[in-house]
């Protein structure tokens, strides 16, 4: 089906850019490493040497490029953003064969991209009498992948939400549901705030967050205050969540401070050094997942492809941290208590970065919860079957969001 204003897109990185990348890889200078460093000091030198060797000698980008083009129907279109002019937006769009399929907007985060939907897509469009099917749109956020980047200051969560919403309307989806983690959580939450319930009918996240208990929720606050008592203490799963969250805040959040304060300074290194970018991203792919075994080709697709796909945008992709933090006025922009009115669903994975007690995150419009024994921050890529299953349950018959999109069930 053709949509007015939509241009088919095929990934075709110019030969000269790949040649330049090869030249840079041939001239790298690697740092020294302390004895027995392991992961205590960051990505081990042995890992980077192995990945770089494979990148130079074994990785076939054209093969990966062809696979992405074959698996992911891609398009671009111009979208006007209030106060920021027109941006050319890249996206994946795959319709189910099911007439009554539910339109779903998938929003990635950082350091992700539209590639995060790669494993999830075939599961969501699958036709079956046993579960709902979805028409899937996976946007490349402005400044990511093949979407153009804003050139004016102040482009923050509200504008990202506007882009995504206008994309869905342009595709004829006047009513739709959303799914996202990481920045996708913040953006889909903002979509729910701004465009629900008229257009955004329900949202699901694998990154459920909340601020700490306050007296505005007296029972939750009292429970937390008395949690030191044996019979009111947090359970084993919740204590493990506190430990994971504490680890992230103490040892894993340095990137956030840098990207939210000096994105341009960092951008010079990310733009000029493919190995620097590889290390910056690979660290997150390993430490933010639940022991996911990245093979070298896969690591190259999600890390070195980050370089290949973002040759023009390494600094732009991290500016979301600066602009959004500034707009939040010093408050924690992820844990701000903002309660949306449309149905929401949560999926919990044990190696997420911030894992809070369920009593903290539950809200009156929560209609679905699922607890999983495995999985981390990149749920759509690590555990696509589990995430797809949760969406099917939430929007299927008997689910809390069944029938939210008119005539799409």
- Find the catalytic residue in 90, 135, 173, 182: 182
Burial of 25 (0-12, 13-18, 19+ CB in 10 A): middle
- What is the rounded distance in angstroms from the CA atom of residue 321 to the CA atom of residue 327? 10
Phi/psi of residue 176, nearest 5 degrees? -160, 170
Q: Is 322 a catalytic residue?
A: yes
- What is the rounded distance in angstroms from the CA atom of residue 354 to the CA atom of residue 166? 30
Q: Which residue has tokens 């030249």?
A: 23
Please state, in angstroms and as integers, the Cα–Cα distance from residue 64 to each residue in 172, 297, 364, 403, following that order: 31, 9, 44, 38
- Find the catalytic residue in 84, 282, 377, 381: 377
Whether the ω angle into residue 111 lies within 30 degrees of 0, i.e. cis, is yes
- Find the catalytic residue in 91, 173, 185, 322: 322
Q: Is 234 a catalytic residue?
A: no
Task: Identify which of 280, 338, 285 has the alpha carbon closest to the alpha carbon of residue 116.
Answer: 285
H helix or E strand, kind and range, residue 305: helix 305-309
Q: Which residues are catalytic?
A: 182, 322, 377
């Amino acid at each position: 089906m053709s949509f007015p204003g939509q241009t088919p897109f095929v990934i075709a990185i110019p030969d000269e850019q790949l040649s330049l990348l090869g030249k840079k890889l041939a001239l790298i200078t690697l740092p020294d490493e302390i004895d027995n460093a392991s992961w205590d000091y960051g990505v081990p030198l042995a890992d980077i040497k192995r990945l770089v060797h494979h990148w130079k000698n074994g990785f076939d980008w054209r093969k990966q490029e062809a696979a992405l083009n074959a698996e992911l129907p891609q398009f671009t279109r111009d979208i006007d953003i209030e106060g920021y002019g027109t941006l050319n937006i890249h996206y994946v769009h795959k319709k189910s064969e099911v007439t009554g399929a539910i339109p779903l907007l998938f929003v990635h985060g950082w350091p992700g991209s539209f590639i995060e939907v790669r494993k999830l897509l075939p599961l969501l469009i699958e036709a079956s009498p046993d579960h709902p099917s979805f028409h899937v749109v996976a946007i490349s956020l402005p400044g990511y992948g093949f979407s153009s980047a804003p050139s004016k200051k102040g482009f923050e969560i509200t504008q990202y939400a506007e882009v995504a919403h206008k994309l869905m309307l342009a595709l004829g989806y006047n009513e739709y549901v959303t799914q996202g983690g990481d920045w996708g959580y913040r953006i889909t939450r903002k979509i729910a705030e701004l465009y629900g319930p008229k257009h955004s009918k329900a949202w699901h996240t694998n990154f459920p967050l909340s601020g700490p208990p306050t007296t505005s929720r007296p029972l939750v606050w009292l429970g937390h205050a008395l949690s030191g008592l044996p019979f009111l203490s947090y359970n084993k799963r919740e204590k493990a969540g506190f430990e994971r969250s504490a680890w992230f805040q103490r040892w894993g959040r340095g990137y956030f401070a840098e990207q939210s304060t000096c994105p341009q300074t960092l951008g010079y290194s990310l733009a000029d050094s493919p190995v620097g970018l590889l290390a910056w991203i690979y660290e997150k792919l390993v430490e933010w997942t639940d022991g996911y075994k990245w093979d070298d080709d896969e690591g190259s697709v999600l890390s070195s492809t980050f370089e290949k796909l973002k040759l023009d945008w390494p600094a732009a992709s991290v500016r979301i941290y600066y602009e959004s933090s500034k707009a939040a006025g010093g408050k924690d922009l992820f844990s701000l208590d903002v309660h949306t009115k449309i149905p929401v669903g949560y999926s919990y994975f044990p190696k997420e970065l911030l894992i809070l007690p369920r009593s903290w995150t539950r809200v009156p419009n929560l209609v679905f919860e699922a607890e999983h024994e495995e999985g981390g921050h990149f749920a759509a890529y690590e555990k696509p079957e589990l995430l797809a299953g949760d969406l099917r349950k939430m929007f299927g018959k008997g689910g809390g969001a069944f029938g939210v999109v008119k005539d799409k069930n």
